[in-house]
Structure 1
Amino acid sequence: MNISGPSTPVRKLTPAEAQTSFKVALNDALHKVNEAQHASTLATSQLARGENIDLHQVMITAQKASISLQATIEVRNKVVEAYQEVMRMQV
């Protein structure tokens, strides 16, 4: 019994398509991190002004923003490390 189902061939991307796809994915990820940071800032300022906002929600929003920023920094560090490793390779 074949559980995987019918397989469809995977189309290989050209270098230009891969570059564009990577750029779009990276841009979307950075945009989401930025949105999380803005949401955290907004929630914190609402709490500071004494508006009706739950402290738990403020803390959760701040933690999500912090974790997403930390993950982005780690990905950046790995990309820089990989680039440096490629640059050290002898041709």
Structure 2
Amino acid sequence: MSIEAINAVQPGFLPPTWASGLAQHTPESFGSMLVSGWQSADRALQSADTAVADFTLGKDLPPHQVMLALEEARMQMQFALQVRSRLVEGYQELMRMQL
């Protein structure tokens, strides 16, 4: 790599493909992020429930796919409960503050 190639990239300059991707991205509100997280956890739980039901009914579903669906649902649920507990802790901390 030559020095000219390094100098060709100016600080703060983004290639057009990156810049166009950043311009199209709009930040998501906190409330909509929470709702989409809960919906994702709900979909994982429904998927795990469907996988277990299909497996017990004898459909052609490998056991490892059932276990992966159950583990995904478990992890999503744990994450959702952690977020919930952190939100409750934050709310309680705000209520303890004296104005």
The verdict on a shared fold, with TM-score over 0.5 as the criterion, is: yes
- TM-score, length basis structure 1: 0.79
- Indicate the RMSD between aligned Cα atoms, in angstroms: 2.4
Q: Mark the CA change 1:70 to 1:4 in structure 2 (over 3 Å): closer, same or farther.
A: farther
Work out which of the residue numbers 68, 72, 76 in structure 2 matches 1:68. Answer: 76
Q: Which residue in the other structure is 1:10 paired with?
A: none
Give the aligned length.
81
- TM-score, length basis structure 2: 0.73
Higher radius of gyration, 1 or 2: 2
Gaps of 5+ in 1: 8-17
Deviations 1:20-66 (A, max 9, x none): 81111111111110000000000000000011001000000100000
Gaps of 5+ in 2: 1-6, 15-26
Moved over 4 A (4+): 1-4
User: 1: distance between equivalents of 2:10 and 2:74?
Assistant: 40
